[in-house]
Amino acid sequence: MNISPAKLLLLGYTSYILLGWALLSLPLMQAVPVAAIDNLFIATSAVSTTGLVTVDPGTSYSFAGELVILLLIQIGGLGYMTLGTFIVLSVTDSLGRVRKEATRNVFNLPEDVRPGYFVRSVVLFTLLVETAGALALYPMFVAAEVPDPVWSAIFHSISAFATAGFSLNSDSFMGFRDHVGVNFVLSALSILGAMGFLIVVDVLRGLTGRTSHLGFTSKVIVRITMLFLLVGTLLFFVIEPSVQALPPPERLMASFFQVMTASTTVGFNTHPISTLSFATLIVLFFLMIVGASPAGTGGGLKTTSFAALVGLVRSTLKGRDRIRFFKREIPLKRLQNAAASLSYYLVLTAVALFLLALTEADVAFEVLLFEVWSAMGTVGLSMGLTGELSDLGKIIVIVLMTAGRVGILTFGIALAAHDESREEEKENDLVT
Amino acid sequence: MNISPAKLLLLGYTSYILLGWALLSLPLMQAVPVAAIDNLFIATSAVSTTGLVTVDPGTSYSFAGELVILLLIQIGGLGYMTLGTFIVLSVTDSLGRVRKEATRNVFNLPEDVRPGYFVRSVVLFTLLVETAGALALYPMFVAAEVPDPVWSAIFHSISAFATAGFSLNSDSFMGFRDHVGVNFVLSALSILGAMGFLIVVDVLRGLTGRTSHLGFTSKVIVRITMLFLLVGTLLFFVIEPSVQALPPPERLMASFFQVMTASTTVGFNTHPISTLSFATLIVLFFLMIVGASPAGTGGGLKTTSFAALVGLVRSTLKGRDRIRFFKREIPLKRLQNAAASLSYYLVLTAVALFLLALTEADVAFEVLLFEVWSAMGTVGLSMGLTGELSDLGKIIVIVLMTAGRVGILTFGIALAAHDESREEEKENDLVT
Ligand SMILES: [K+]
Ligand SMILES: [K+]
């Protein structure tokens, strides 16, 4: 096995995308003729669980086409872990410690989690949650006279838990802004998917008595997720002019949902994103860049990388020798990965924005920036650009969605030539 | 001495700003009445060598007022080192190794450079270069019928070498876009100031036979500066629509000058910044964020921090254990500072942009972003917002210019409570 885990992961996703593209290109999958580039875009958006769409999935594809999209979403969300764990299992018996470590790093598995147990927990948990979600959505969709309520409930439950944000409604969930039940179920599914399976494993181990409390990483994930949702909702509620006319409870729910959708990277919306003020956009930008949690279905730099960088900044500002977060030391390797991820993320942002500025004429700067970060974070929200993209623009967004799903850093590792040179070189004092 | 070097530096700059504010508030300094907030803004912009102006310095202040501004610029540029080295000298004899190290870090002095020698070299070099610059500009300003050519030559030579970008002309150097001589002199002065005094010391040591070649840091600075100017100019020349109508030599010169002004953070311009395309703006954003080199007069994150982060990303992507740049290992402390600087820089950007989005209504997103990065990088270019800022907006920009001059990380250190706790804590595996 000469191929690195990162390359294997990128190849895996690419082959799912190509398979999806081939299937969606069949005439029987389409309700109206769809261009080849749009089928590729939709396949990539589904496998990457992004949810950006150049054509409306609900009206462009047949039931068979929608089923293919849903399977691609499930592969992208759950299958990420399945594929990942398959690799972990396949190398556990035959490979050395260094490569096992590398694989664990790619899939963010802590040392004490057994891959086999992890896979079984993930599959069981996903099926349970998705079934519960569909059962909860069904009666509400019937009452709201949604077409094909059974299919719609299944589709949106899976799309929410996989933080894919694909919707059969052409206006996402804007018709449900004041619907408490739908808001609650979609949010619960998205937050569970975004917090990731580490939490699930931790909770399961707690229930079976193997540990009495959440692990450190799980605690960090839960606290940061809750903090972001709380502070984000408050900020949105206070500063966003376009929700000020709503009755306070609906205003609060709209604030929460839009913050939740950016933070979990699910990408459904109940309020038009293109009307948001710049100050609110900056809050959403921040949430989309940080994104969801590791070993989950969401995208972004991940809450744990954010925690590592906060620890780095605070420790550096306070003149500490050790980098800490919540009074625990963060290992150097984790810090290096977080800092490299951030730097590489910014480079990709600059290159993508530069290219999109050249290919898309007369589009406002914040709209371009929103599209780039939405794709890189596999969020799927848009200020309206996606449907207007040029073919070159679509290709740029396709690359960004793929990079976002594989993981920004893993994407870079997959593309880079591996260098095993470890020769000792003279330490040198580079002034920074 | 209980006060930290970072706090002392921030206090030093703040006192110079307050002194400048007091002086500029005197009626004899003003040609027309200037509001208190504008005097504070101009004083901060001068001491921070930024060059953003809310009122036109050439018509708002008397000769005495212009002289005060020039002295503040000289203090901000040269005085930064003088003040810094004063602290270094004052602690060399009386303080322990740890604090000496901290002071050296703040002022980016390599281990083998003696502070006394450094100060003398800096002062001598500055006076020589500024005199040569003024002598070169004078006959060209006479020929171009610039008012007060002697004063204008002196003012602009110092303003260029200090990378302050303050101009007595209300349109900066837009009237000199095709003037080879003025372009050359201003660029040479700005590049020398931006490359910093480490290069000077290195070259002087080479000339006196103490070393036969440039040190590693100097090599990195020279190579990155030249690379940025070359690639930036080429990109600007090829992609910027607003210079396409110019004759090729003038188009090349306009491309070079605008790239040079962003990269050195001098902030003069020969072409209107508000007409630039988004793709070109992204190139300038990149240059302004990276900024100039350490131990010079320019701002930004610094070319050496950029080098450290490039080394970090490349080494991480290639799976190397050691972080290298130009085949030399970068010490962990340098990497930590570079990564912390970048992270803290992004946090400040987000907060400032969020606040400006609230205080400044109806301003385009890229114009707000340009103003924030221009202030944080002490660049001084603007897309036209500065003169239109609200009073709250002016205060935000004043804080950013101060933070940019003190150094983004040093600013954070100065504001943070120092924490000397070094207790051993359990190493913990935070998943990132
Ligand atoms: K999504
Ligand atoms: K400047």
Q: Is the pLDDT of residue A66 over 80?
A: yes
Amino acid in position A214? L
A423: in domain = no
Q: Which of B282, B343, B425 sits opposite A324 (nearest CB)?
A: B425
Lowest mean pLDDT among A282-291, A323-332, B112-121, B178-187: B112-121
Share of chain B above pLDDT 70, in %: 85
How far is the first Cα of chain B from the last one, in angstroms, to the nearest whole number?
Answer: 40
Residue of A nearest to B321 (CA): A422
Is B349 in the A-facing interface, judged by CB distances under 8 Å? no
**Tokens 């099926």, located at residue:** A127
- At A118 the pLDDT is 67
ipTM of the complex: 0.90
DSSP letters, A321-347, are SS-EETTEEPPHHHHHHHHHHHHHHHH
Note the pLDDT of residue B272: 96
Q: How far is CA B373 from CA A342, B2, B307, in A?
A: 18, 33, 20
Higher pLDDT, A202 or B116: A202
pLDDT higher than 50, residue A425: no
Residue A153 covered by a domain = yes
Q: How far A60 CA sits from the closest chain B CA (Å)?
A: 34
Name which of B314, B334, B346 is nearest A430 (Cβ-Cβ).
B334
Tell me, yes or no, whether A426 lies in a domain: no
Reply yes or no on whether the pLDDT at B423 is more than 60.
Answer: no
Chain A from 394 to 423: CB within 8 A of any B CB: 409, 412-413, 415-422
- Answer yes or no: is pLDDT of B208 > 50: yes
Task: Report, as an integer, the average pLDDT of B107-126.
Answer: 67
Domain-embedded: residue B113: yes
In a domain, A243, yes or no: yes
Asked whether the predicted pLDDT for residue B235 surpasses 70, the reply is yes
Residue A431 lies in a domain: no
Kindly state the average pLDDT of the residues A305-313.
92
> What is the band of B116 on the pLDDT scale with cuts at 50, 70, 90?
low
Task: Give me the pLDDT at residue B287, please.
Answer: 97
Q: What whole-number distance in Å separates Cα of residue B52 and Cα of residue B74?
A: 16
Verify whether the Cβ–Cβ distance A283 to B354 is below 8 Å: yes
Q: What is the mean predicted confidence (pLDDT) over B298-321?
A: 89
Q: Range of A200's domain?
A: 5-415
CA of residue B405 to ligand 2 center, whole Å: 10
Q: What is the pLDDT of residues A216-270, one digit of tens each?
A: 888 888 999 999 999 999 999 999 999 999 999 999 999 999 999 999 999 999 9
CA angle B123, B112, B122 (to 5 degrees): 5
Q: Which of residues 299-318 of A touch B (CB under 8 A)?
A: 302, 304-305, 307-310, 312-314, 316-318
Q: Any chain A CB within 8 A of the CB of B3?
A: no
pLDDT at B5: 74
- Number of structural domains in chain A: 1
Residue B422 lies in a domain: no
Residue A416 burial by Cβ neighbours in a 10 Å radius (0-12, 13-18, 19+):
middle
A318, B418 contact by CB (below 8 A): yes
The candidate with the shortest Cα–Cα distance to A288, out of A272, A305, A310, A266, is A266
- Please say if the pLDDT value at position A1 is more than 60: no
Which of B111, B283, B307 comes nearest A430 by C-beta?
Answer: B307
* CB atoms B419 and A319 under 8 Å: yes
Mean pLDDT lowest among B60-69, B198-207, B355-364: B198-207
Q: Does residue A130 belong to any structural domain of this protein? A: yes
* B165 neighbors B68 (Cβ within 8 angstroms): no
A74-103: per-residue pLDDT in tens?
Answer: 988 876 555 555 554 555 544 445 444 544
Task: Please give the C-alpha separations between residue A274 and each of A54, A172, A175, A277, in angstroms, as whole numbers.
Answer: 16, 14, 16, 9
Query: For residue B266, which ligand has an atom nearest its CA?
Result: 2
